[in-house]
Amino acid sequence: MKALLFAAGLGTRLRPLTEHTPKPLLPVGGKPMLQWHIERLVAAGVSDLIINSAWLAEQIDQFVGDGRRFGVPVTVSHEPGGPYDTGGAIRHCRSQLGNDPFLVVAGDIWTTFPFADLTTLQLNGALGCLVMVNNPAQHPTGDFRLHEDGRLTRLEGGNWFTYSGIALLSPAVVDGCDEQVFPLREPLRAAASAGRLRGLVWQGEWEDVGTVERYNALNKRLDAQG
């Protein structure tokens, strides 16, 4: 199975830390966030890895190389004039992804989610299965309503959860999207409206490392854990 790691963002809210370092290369628990993801994806059986890049792209290139040191072939998908946002990133490397479902992981999250839970999952006609988490303080309203049968919708009522940035997706989720730059949430919402989006809940460790305050708090907590 292939996986796409998002690593192209500007990291605006993490400045000044990201002025000279791409946010996925910021160290967490002694290693760059990107390295944690790569190692865990390889352990879960991912056979090919694509990493998109734009901001300080040469650092991403130098860090991952061809992937040999991680034990997996790595292709860096450069986004000239980018970043192209998460949806645009998938569209840009659509031919590299092929036609089979693939994993996506946001490069600026910290999690112990077992990626192997997705590598054996069947979409059965859905365009994706999103890993959902309890709504964090910075996003109290959530993204989707999760139904008992696993469907995700944006209907009123019910239990709302936040999309974690981890998913198993069909490449077809972006078919029909013609713009170069667009967020993944647009085709995901369309898939939910069509009844073709599913979800599962992860209650374990997960952090959106989106601000300097959250980044520092995470490192402090991990240091305390030893």
Residue 225 has a pLDDT of 82
**Structure token digits, residue 52:** 């998109």
Looking at the chain, the whole-number percentage of residues with pLDDT higher than 90 is 84
Task: Check residue 145 and give left, alpha or beta (phi > 0: left; psi -120 to 50: alpha).
Answer: beta
Residue 93 has a pLDDT of 94
Rounded CA Rg of the chain? 17
- In this prediction the pTM is 0.95
Q: Exposed/middle/buried for 179, CB within 10 Å: 0-12, 13-18, 19+?
A: exposed
Residues in the chain: 226
Residue linked to tokens 């569209």: 91
Contact 7, 22 (CB under 8 A): yes
The DSSP string of 3-46 is EEEE-----GGGTTTTSSS-GGGSEETTEEHHHHHHHHHHHTT-
pLDDT in tens, 142-198: 999 999 999 999 988 778 999 999 999 999 999 989 899 999 999 999 999 999 999
Positive or negative: CA dihedral 34, 109, 6, 73: positive
What mean pLDDT is predicted for residues 1-17? Answer: 91
For the chain, list the domains and their CATH numbers.
Answer: 2-219 (3.90.550.10)
Average pLDDT value for the chain: 93
115 pLDDT above the threshold of 90 = yes
Contact 109, 85 (CB under 8 A): no
Is residue 28 very low, low, confident or very high in pLDDT (cuts 50, 70, 90)? Answer: very high
Contact 205, 218 (CB under 8 A): no
